């Protein structure tokens, strides 16, 4: 009887913990491209969570709307970085290239490269075949 209760308790804890674990696991190397509503004009971009974790970049630096527990949304969900073009500060393009933003790929890389870190800043280094 006791063992049964312990087993059930363990199962409950596991079930409760699983969604949190699934939400925070970082995907392996990713290939980033524009959302279905936009056409890619450049080669897709390889992205490594592992390299950025090693460089001590916090999850919330990039996933800036994440509360630390729930699921992580993709950048181009409706109402976020879903605007085409380059002018809008929240445009899809700006999310990755805004030079004044410390959490856009290019904004952070420019500062890091100045300090001699191997953070790519040229188009073809990120948009590589
Ligand atoms: C630090 C990495 C990085 C650098 C450097 C970079 N980009 Fe990007 N770019 C991205 C990411 C990430 C995306 C979003 C994924 C995608 O759409 O390919 C993107 C998307 C784009 C898009 C919209 C999607 C498309 O294919 O049309 C354009 C246009 C673009 N980049 C042009 C450029 C140009 C031009 C340069 C050089 C001035 C450049 N990028 C430099 C990372 C970078
Ligand atoms: C340097 C920026 C950066 C950092 C740091 C970062 N991520 Fe990401 N992550 C991304 C990008 C870019 C994507 C792709 C988003 C998209 O598809 O629009 C992504 C995607 C994800 C996804 C998939 C989301 C989906 O669309 O299904 C998860 C989960 C995730 N990251 C978790 C994490 C966790 C947990 C950490 C911290 C340990 C972390 N990330 C750190 C940039 C980052
Ligand atoms: C807040 C800072 C920061 C942001 C934001 C950031 N990076 Fe980086 N990135 C770094 C640093 C630091 C390095 C150098 C890591 C090292 O020392 O190995 C790096 C290295 C890289 C490299 C070269 C290493 C490799 O994985 O091949 C690529 C490619 C890269 N980043 C892509 C991206 C893309 C794409 C984005 C946006 C989705 C992004 N980064 C956002 C800090 C950042």
Closest residue CA from atom 13 of ligand 2: 74
Rg from Cα positions in the chain: 19
119 lines ligand 3 (CB under 6 A): yes
pLDDT, residue 23, reads 52
CA distances from 81 to 66, 86, 115, 119 (A): 15, 11, 29, 23
**Mean pLDDT across the stretch 4-28?**
58
Assess contact for 109 and 121: CB atoms under 8 A: yes
111 lines ligand 3 (CB under 6 A): no
pLDDT, residue 7, reads 56
What are the pLDDT digits (tens) for 45-101? 999 999 999 999 999 999 999 999 999 999 999 999 999 999 999 999 999 999 999
pLDDT, residue 13, reads 47
pTM: 0.91
Give the whole-angstrom CA distance, residue 7 versus residue 9.
Answer: 5
Percent of the chain with pLDDT over 70: 82
Sign, Cα dihedral of 58, 126, 45, 73? positive
Asked if pLDDT for residue 6 goes beyond 70, the answer is no
Q: Write out residues with Cβ below 6 Å of ligand 1.
A: 32-34, 40-42, 44-45, 93, 96-97, 105-106, 109, 120-123, 125-127
CA of 105, closest atom in ligand 1: 1
- In the chain, where are the structural domains located? 26-126
Asked if pLDDT for residue 21 goes beyond 70, the answer is no
CATH fold for the domain made of 26-126: Cytochrome C3 (3.90.10)
75 vs 15, higher pLDDT: 75
Give the residue, out of 30, 39, 47, 97, with the most ligand 1 atoms within 8 A of its beta carbon, to mutate for a pocket test: 97
CB burial readout 28-54, b (16+ within 10 A) else e: eeeeeeeeeeeeeeeeebebebeebee
Cα angle, residue 31 at apex, residues 29 and 33 outer, rounded to 5°: 155
């Amino acid at each position: 009887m006791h063992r049964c209760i312990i087993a059930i308790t363990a199962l409950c804890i596991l079930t409760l913990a699983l969604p949190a674990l699934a939400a925070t696991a970082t995907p392996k190397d990713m290939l980033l491209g524009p959302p279905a509503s936009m056409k890619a004009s450049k080669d897709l971009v390889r992205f490594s969570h592992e390299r950025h974790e090693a460089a001590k970049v916090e999850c919330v630096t990039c996933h800036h709307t994440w509360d630390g527990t729930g699921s992580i949304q993709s950048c181009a969900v409706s109402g976020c970085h879903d605007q085409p073009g380059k002018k809008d500060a929240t445009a899809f393009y700006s999310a990755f290239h805004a030079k004044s933003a410390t959490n856009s790929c290019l904004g952070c890389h420019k500062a890091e490269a100045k300090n001699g870190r191997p953070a790519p800043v040229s188009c073809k280094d990120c948009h590589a075949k």
